[in-house]
Every structure is written in C-alpha cells, then in structure tokens.
A and B are shown apart, each in its own frame.
Chain A
Amino acid sequence: MIRLIFRDLTLGLRAGGGFGLGLAFFLIVTVLVPFAVGPETARLAPIAPGILWLAALLACLLSLDRIFALDREDGALDLLATAPIPLEGLSLAKAVAHWITTGLPLSLAAPALGVLLSLDWPGHLWLGLSLLLGTPALSLIGTFGAALTVGLRRGGLLMSLLVLPLYIPTLVFGADVARRGAAGLDPATPLALLAAVSLGCLAGLPFAAAAALRISLR
C-alpha cells in the first residue's frame, strides 16, 4: 500500500499537473475574487474563509478524474485489481496519494492566500487547520466518486454532479470552523464535527469505493 502511495506520488510529481495544477487553480480563483466583489477590506475579510474553502473544494474536484482514469487508460487499474492487495486498500492508497498531492499543499497554501483576501490573524491558523482536517474527507469522497464514474467515457462533468452534493457536510463544518476562528469565536464544536466527518469517511468510504470499482471493472 505504501508502495502504491509512493507510485502515485511520483507519477503526480513527474507527469506534471498533480501538485502544480491544483495549487495554481486555487491561486487563480483567489485572485479573481477581489475582481468580482471589489477590493475593500471590509468586504473581503468576512467572506475570505468561505471563499478559500470553496476554492479549495473546487481545486480538489478538478484533480479527481485522474485518480482512476489514467490508470484505467493504460491498463494499470486492471493489474492493480488482480494484485494481492484488496481493492479497499487500493482505494485508500489512492485517496491518501490524492490528499498528499492536493489537500496537503492546499491547506499549507491557504493561510498565505488568506493574506491576499485580508483575513485577520487568528483566522489563518483556523483556516489552515480546518482544511488540514477537512481535505482528507474531500479526497475520500472524491475517490468514491471517481470509482463510480471510472467506466464512463465522459465521466468528468457527471462526477462533479455526483460528488459536490456529497461535499456539503464537509464544507458546512469546515467553513464554519474557519469563519468562527476568524471572528474570534470558539470553533471547537464544528472542529470536532469536521473531524468526525473525516474519520467517518475514512472508515466507510474505501469500502464503498472498492464496491464501485469492483462493479466498474466487471
């Protein structure tokens, strides 16, 4: 499993597009926001946590279809399915690799981008923390979505329709942590709920993703 993770990481790094593209998309969305709503601090600061969460979510979504689709194209997925590792483990490894290539850099970059949107000081910390806790759930849900649509030729758009409603609880809790943190309120409750969502996804979704993969590869 660890080897699988490293394989995906090297592929993501060397084949281009893994690390860089998601981050660049995140940056661009953040830069576009002031053009859309106006550059005043008073306007940007309250919406900054929500905007950054939304941008991170979209950046995550953007890289989902390469989780299984590339391996499917060159036949690697069929080999992996017959490998001694169970499909549940494969899904988990894929999700972890996806998280390391998108979720982790996004959470680390988000506080810096918060500066651009004139987020106040404690807000950076909570934004980074909430993304760090919440993006694993995004990756796991995304892996499930990718497994559902792997057999389809034009799965990309359909996958966003399937995956985005599933993202709602994570987004609600995650953005709430960041918002409360930025406003100086106690974010403990949504933080705990966000962690609960992530852990629940970690416990259950690899099985669902493996079930979907098994059906798709039949």
Chain B
Amino acid sequence: MSLWTYANPTRFMSTTRPLVPALGAIAAVFLVVGLVWGFFFTPDDYRQGATVKIIYLHVPSALMAINAWLMMLVASLIWLVRRHHVSALAARAAAPVGVTMTLIALVTGAVWGQPMWGTWWAWDPRLTSFLILFLFYLGYMALWEAIEDPDTAADLTSVLCLVGSVFAVLSRYAVNFWNQGLHQGASLSLDAEENVADVFYYPLLVSIAGFAALFVALVLLRTRTEIRARRLHALRLRERMADA
C-alpha cells in the first residue's frame, strides 16, 4: 500500500468521493469561524483601523496562490517521471484555483492599499511578483486549452511548468533587485506576518486552515470532473468507433 495506488483513477475516484464533501464542510466551518472571529471579535488596529481585517482574506489567499503553483510543479514532475494521468489532471485542476487565489490576493491587497498607502497599486516587489505569478498562471492555462491531444498537452504544460517555476523564482529576485535600484529602501512592504499580535494571529491561523481545506476540496473536485470528462471523451470515441 503506497501513495501510488491512488494513481489509479478508479481508486482515486472511490477514495476522494467522501473526501470532497468532508473537506468542503471542514473548509466551511473553519472559514466561517475564522472570518467571523476575525471580522467581528477582534479589535481594530490602532493605526490601520478596521482595514486590518482584510488580512484574514489576503494572507491565506496569497499563501494558497503560491502553494497551488508548488503543487502544480510537483504534479507535473510526477506526470513527467511516472506518467500517472491523475497527476497531470490534478495539475490542470489546480491552475484555475491558483489563479483565483492570486486574483483575490491582488484585489484584497489593492483594497487595503488604497486607504493605507493611498494608492491601489504600487510597483513594490511583492505586488509585482504576484502580478508576474498571475501571468504565469494565464500562460499555463492557455497552453492547456490550446492543445487538443490530452497527453501532448499534459507533457508540454508540465515542461512549461518546470521552466516557468525557474523563471518565476528568478523574476521574484530580479524584481527585488529592480525596485531597490529604482527607489531604494522601499517603505511599502509593511510585512504583516512579523508584527501581528496574538489577537489577530489565532483567527488568521483558523482562516488559513479554512483556505487550505477549501483549496484541497476544490482541486479534488476539479480533478474528479477532469477524470469524468476524460472518461466521457473515451466513451464517445468508442461509440463512434462502434458506429463506423
């Protein structure tokens, strides 16, 4: 009994069937507890006022946005090395979830930045690298859509994901370098995680757990959908072959 037994689609489907609603329920409970606790039962920050509460959406979604790419990277590697179809489909399933998380992080950041920094957008290294991550997601998904043959698509997107990961990390540090070169000592990166007080910290942890469960549930759900779509496609082909 190893992890690879779940690479069998049938096995994967039967295992994940009860998992999706369970994880969904866990995500719902954690999100409701974390967000309600965060929004209504924590004090306002003395400098940021009520806007501090956007942290409960912003930080978890940003975390998941990066983790989704990492998951795609691992899944792509597994596909390239061991040719498990579930792995390739999971990578495909994670991309739209990841891009949504990136978008949530960007939008909540902008909403927070408007009253705090006085601007919706600044070319801060963190913001910029997230925008770049967003572009990488778009390219990855576009390549999936563009190729008809599913195995070729899985192969090519996996290669893109590997090369893209290298360049995404490279861009992250290049952007750091570029911004320091432009206006040094950027005062914009108010790193939230370091100076968060316990009052804000515990609901934040709950909310992060909720987002993580939500992410896993969504990816499993989408992977199941992809597997079903693939089966349907195979059935249609077989029918057409039988007719001919």
Do these two chains interact?
yes
Query: A208 near B163 (CB under 8 angstroms)?
Result: yes
Q: Does A29 contact B (CB under 8 A)?
A: no
CA distance A193 to B181 in the complex (A): 13
Chain A proximity of B15: nearest CB distance (Å): 30
Chain A proximity of B18: nearest CB distance (Å): 36
Q: Contacts A158-B143, A218-B152: A212 and B171 contacting too (C-beta < 8 A)?
A: no
Query: B132 near A216 (CB under 8 angstroms)?
Result: no
Q: Is the interface of A mostly helix, strand, loop or mixed?
A: helix
Chain B proximity of A104: nearest CB distance (Å): 24
Query: A168 near B177 (CB under 8 angstroms)?
Result: no
Residues of the A chain whose Cβ atoms lie less than 8 Å from the Cβ of B24: none
A156-184 contacts to B, CB under 8 A, are 158, 161-162, 164-166, 168-169, 172-173, 176, 180
Map CB proximity to B onto A192-218 as digits: 1 under 8 Å, 0 otherwise. 010001000000110010011001101
Please name the residue on chain B nearest to A148 by beta carbon: B156
Residues of the B chain whose Cβ atoms lie less than 8 Å from the Cβ of A168: 132, 167, 171, 174-175
Q: Contacts A166-B164, A190-B181: A197 and B170 contacting too (C-beta < 8 A)?
A: yes
CA distance A173 to B170 in the complex (A): 11
Please name the residue on chain A nearest to B170 by beta carbon: A169
Contact of B146 (CB < 8 Å), options: A144, A152, A166, A204: A152
Q: Contacts A152-B146, A166-B167: A215 and B139 contacting too (C-beta < 8 A)?
A: no
Please name the residue on chain A nearest to B141 by beta carbon: A161
Q: Contacts A216-B152, A218-B152: A193 and B138 contacting too (C-beta < 8 A)?
A: no
Residues of the B chain whose Cβ atoms lie less than 8 Å from the Cβ of A176: 177-178, 181
Contact of A165 (CB < 8 Å), options: B135, B143, B166, B181: B135
Query: A151 near B152 (CB under 8 angstroms)?
Result: yes
Chain B proximity of A201: nearest CB distance (Å): 10
Map CB proximity to A onto B55-67 as digits: 1 under 8 Å, 0 otherwise. 0000000000000
Residues of the A chain whose Cβ atoms lie less than 8 Å from the Cβ of B142: 158, 161-162
Contact of A172 (CB < 8 Å), options: B146, B152, B177: B177
Residues of the B chain whose Cβ atoms lie less than 8 Å from the Cβ of A204: 166
Residues of the A chain whose Cβ atoms lie less than 8 Å from the Cβ of B156: 148, 212, 215-216
CA distance A173 to B176 in the complex (A): 11
Q: Does B103 contact A (CB under 8 A)?
A: no
Residues of the B chain whose Cβ atoms lie less than 8 Å from the Cβ of A208: 159, 162-163
Residues of the B chain whose Cβ atoms lie less than 8 Å from the Cβ of A164: 135
Map CB proximity to A onto B157-195 as digits: 1 under 8 Å, 0 otherwise. 001101110110011001101100100000000000000
Q: What are 30 A-B residue pairs whose CB atoms fall within 8 Å in the complex?
A: A144-B163, A148-B156, A151-B152, A158-B142, A158-B143, A161-B142, A162-B142, A165-B135, A165-B136, A165-B167, A166-B167, A168-B132, A168-B175, A169-B170, A172-B171, A172-B174, A172-B175, A173-B174, A176-B181, A180-B181, A193-B174, A193-B177, A204-B166, A208-B159, A208-B162, A208-B163, A211-B159, A215-B152, A215-B155, A216-B156
Query: Hey, which bits of chain B sit against chain A, CB under 8 A?
Result: 132, 135-136, 138-139, 142-143, 146-147, 152, 155-156, 159-160, 162-164, 166-167, 170-171, 174-175, 177-178, 181
Query: Hey, which bits of chain A sit against chain B, CB under 8 A?
Result: 144, 148-149, 151-152, 154-155, 158, 161-162, 164-166, 168-169, 172-173, 176, 180, 190, 193, 197, 204-205, 208, 211-212, 215-216, 218
